[in-house]
Amino acid sequence: MNQDIDNKLISCRVCGIIMVKLARDVCPKCFREEEELFQKVKNFLRTNPGASVVQVAEHAGCSEEQVQAFINSGRLERVGLRKVAHPCQLCQKIIYEGVMCPDCKKDLKDQVNNLKEPRPEPKDSKPMGRSAPDKPASKEVFDKKKEDSDGGHVGKRKN
C-alpha cells in the first residue's frame, strides 16, 4: 500500500509542492488559478476574435507562453475559439488555427511520405556483416592445415 502512494507522489508543475497525483499534474490551488486565467483568455477571445497572443496576454495579465500553452493544448479550440493570431511552431508565420501553417503541414506530410517510400538498393553495394568468400577455399588449404596440426595436442610441443 505504501509503495502505491510513493509511485503517485509528484511535484506540482506550477508551484512545485509535493502532492499525490490523482487526475492532474497541478495542485488544486494552481489548478483553480489556471482555470481562472483560462476563463479570462476565453472571454477576451469571444469578444475579440483574431486577437494576437500578445494582446490576449496583456488583457489576461499573464505571459505569452501561458496563452501559447492554451493554444497548443487545444483547449481553446475545444470551447469553440479558433481565431487566435499565433505563430506557426516551425516557421513563425502568423496563423489562426492549429499549431502549424498549411505550408509547414504540407512539407511535413511530404517528408513523412518520402520516409515511407522504399529506397532502391545501390547496384554495387555489398551486403553488411559477414559474407561468404568470393571463391571457395581449395582442398589444398584444408589439407595443409591438417598436416600442420599435431592431433589436437595442447601444451608443450613434442619435437
User: Are the beta carbons of 51 and 84 closer than 8 angstroms?
Assistant: yes
Residue with cell 479550440: 77
pLDDT at 90 over 60: yes
Q: How confident is the model at residue 24 (pLDDT cuts 50, 70, 90)?
A: confident
Write down the pLDDT at residue 147: 52
- For the chain, give the mean pLDDT: 75
Write down the pLDDT at residue 37: 92
The cell numbers describing 108, all together, are 511535413
pLDDT at 36 over 90: yes
Write down the pLDDT at residue 72: 79
Could you give the percent of the chain with pLDDT greater than 90? 9
pLDDT 10s digits, 99-143: 788 899 899 888 888 888 777 766 665 555 555 555 545 555 555
pLDDT 10s digits, 150-159: 555 555 555 4
Of 27, 28, 5, 7, whose CA–CA distance to 17 is shortest? 27
Write down the pLDDT at residue 77: 67
Q: How confident is the model at residue 29 (pLDDT cuts 50, 70, 90)?
A: very high
Write down the pLDDT at residue 1: 47
Average pLDDT (30-44) is 90
